[in-house]
Amino acid sequence: MGSLRGTVWGSNLRGMKVLMLAIAALVLGSSLSFATESKGTIEKSRLENAIKQHIDEFRLCYEERTMKGGAPDSGKVVTIFTIGPEGRVTQAGIKSTSLKDPEIETCLVSVLKRTRFPKPNHGAVEVTYPFEFSSTRK
């Protein structure tokens, strides 16, 4: 089991600064709650690079909802997904959430499904990836 951390700052048109901490808990080579059994592995650095390529999209899921005035000030969404043998996400969902905002959660899952990952070694791999969001206004 490994972990990775990333911090991304952004600002929207209203001058609100949004901090998104992506704290990943990677479960490599073990089964979680999907029907498929995970036998594969993937290097943390390669997984991190794939997530970083879409980090603005993940952040935008929260920022857009915040601009509409509907998102909580902070919260955590734990995603769970399977990367298939070809590097495509074959299953994705929400494991837990404190945001309780279906619009943000649906957006995060949608971005995950579009993300292309490196091909795992030895078959599919299941990953849990928590996103932690908070916003502050100037």
| pLDDT attached to residue 38 | 65
Q: How far is CA 50 from CA 55, 100, 117, 135, in A?
A: 9, 26, 6, 25
Which range, of 19-33, 67-81, 101-115, averages the lowest pLDDT? 19-33
User: In this model, does residue 21 exceed pLDDT 70?
Assistant: no
User: In this model, does residue 15 exceed pLDDT 70?
Assistant: no
| pLDDT attached to residue 68 | 86
Averaged pLDDT for residues 5-30: 32
pTM for this model (two decimals): 0.72
User: In this model, does residue 114 exceed pLDDT 60?
Assistant: yes
Q: What is the pLDDT of residues 46-100, one digit of tens each?
A: 988 999 999 999 999 999 888 888 778 889 999 999 999 999 999 999 999 999 8
Give phi and psi for 29, each to the nearest 5: 80, 20
